[in-house]
């Protein structure tokens, strides 16, 4: 005899979050974000004595969005909230637990996308070539060169092991979002810096060992990387908020500026949706506009 279907909304949410973690290999941060979003929806339903997701329709969902907006939730957070609800409803529909789409025609406020800050070529060069001195100098140089050379996320860099690197071939295999792996080229300066780090580690460098180590040989703490970058930027007098993702943005912007190949940049960054990568086309246009204003005789501004 088959078990009775799960109809309690709280249990349906927990069952779906469990699938995200187990079947789709979603990160703990992603699952926690979905849980916070859907807790808002469950509270909204409790306040209105709605006992199932079948009770929801597009008018109620619009009321839900309006209430959250009045409560001070920003446009970007509202869009993520609606995305969480859509994902849940799609799964329930696939499983036959929801006969209609409560989100039909429901839209959140438009998000004004903020362009990421990037370093120019001179600033990037000054940062990655910093000689921090002392026993951390070799490690620091290798981290910065790899960030700028390959556009890695912070989590990808701290999770690297020597077995993931092919210094002869100039490649690195990284584990990205959704536990998807991708191969990324490693530039010659980064290869040289990594070879220097390997020589420094000597006999302690084994294939399964972390490339960037913290205390006791464990992988370096992400917060340590952030603080080191901030310190090195201050030493170089770079007047910008320096963080690991800034070098990822810089990598993407400089690559797109030189190649114009948006699809290649998408692959290298590991973006599932090219719309995420398209923000760098706006940065590229800004660069071209500055060149135009500076060079065209009819465009110069007094």
φ, ψ for residue 181 (rounded to 5)?
-100, 150
271 is catalytic: yes
CA dihedral 96, 102, 104, 105 (to 10 degrees): -170
Query: Cα separations (Å) of 43 from 21, 30, 64?
Result: 23, 20, 10
153 is catalytic: yes
Q: Considering 86, 161, 271, 287, which one is annotated as catalytic? A: 271
Distance CA 10, CA 39 (A): 9
Q: Considering 141, 248, 249, 254, which one is annotated as catalytic? A: 248
Which helix (DSSP H) or strand (DSSP E) does residue 241 occupy?
none
Q: Considering 35, 86, 182, 245, which one is annotated as catalytic? A: 245
> What residues contact residue 255 under an 8 Å CB cut-off, 6+ apart?
151, 264, 265, 268
Q: Which residue has the tokens 């972390």?
A: 210
280 is catalytic: yes
Q: Considering 280, 300, 301, 302, which one is annotated as catalytic? A: 280
Which residues are 185's β-sheet partners? 171
CA-CA-CA-CA torsion sign (200, 201, 202, 206): negative
182 is catalytic: no
Q: Considering 62, 69, 177, 189, which one is annotated as catalytic? A: 177
114 is catalytic: no
Q: Which residue has the tokens 């001179």?
A: 122
Q: Considering 153, 228, 249, 254, which one is annotated as catalytic? A: 153
Q: What residues are annotated to the active site?
A: 153, 177, 245, 248, 271, 280
């Amino acid at each position: 005899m088959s078990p009775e279907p799960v109809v309690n909304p709280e249990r349906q949410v927990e069952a779906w979050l469990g699938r995200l973690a187990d079947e789709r290999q979603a990160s703990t941060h992603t699952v926690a974000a979905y849980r916070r979003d859907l807790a808002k929806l469950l509270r909204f339903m409790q306040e209105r004595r709605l006992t199932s997701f079948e009770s929801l329709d597009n008018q109620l969902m619009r009321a839900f969005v309006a209430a959250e907006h009045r409560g001070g939730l920003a446009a970007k957070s509202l869009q993520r909230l609606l995305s969480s609800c859509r994902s849940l409803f799609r799964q329930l529909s696939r499983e036959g637990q929801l006969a209609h789409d409560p989100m039909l025609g429901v839209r959140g406020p438009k998000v004004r996308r903020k362009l990421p800050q990037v370093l120019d070529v001179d600033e990037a060069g000054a940062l990655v070539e910093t000689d921090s001195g002392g026993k951390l100098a070799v490690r620091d140089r290798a981290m910065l060169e790899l960030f700028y050379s390959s556009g890695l996320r912070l989590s990808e860099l701290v999770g690297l092991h020597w077995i993931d690197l092919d210094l002869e071939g100039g490649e690195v295999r990284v584990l990205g979002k959704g536990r998807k792996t991708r191969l990324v080229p490693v530039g010659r300066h980064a290869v040289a810096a990594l070879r220097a780090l390997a020589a420094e580690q000597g006999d302690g460098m084994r294939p399964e060992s972390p490339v960037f180590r913290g205390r006791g040989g464990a992988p370096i703490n992400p917060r340590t990387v952030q603080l080191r970058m901030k310190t090195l930027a201050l030493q170089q007098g770079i007047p910008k908020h320096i963080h690991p993702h800034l070098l990822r943005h810089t990598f993407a912007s400089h690559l797109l500026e030189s190649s114009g190949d948006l699809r290649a940049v998408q692959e290298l960054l590991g973006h599932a949706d090219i719309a995420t990568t398209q923000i760098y086309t706006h940065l590229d246009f800004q660069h071209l506009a500055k060149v135009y204003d500076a060079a065209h005789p009819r465009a110069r501004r007094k």
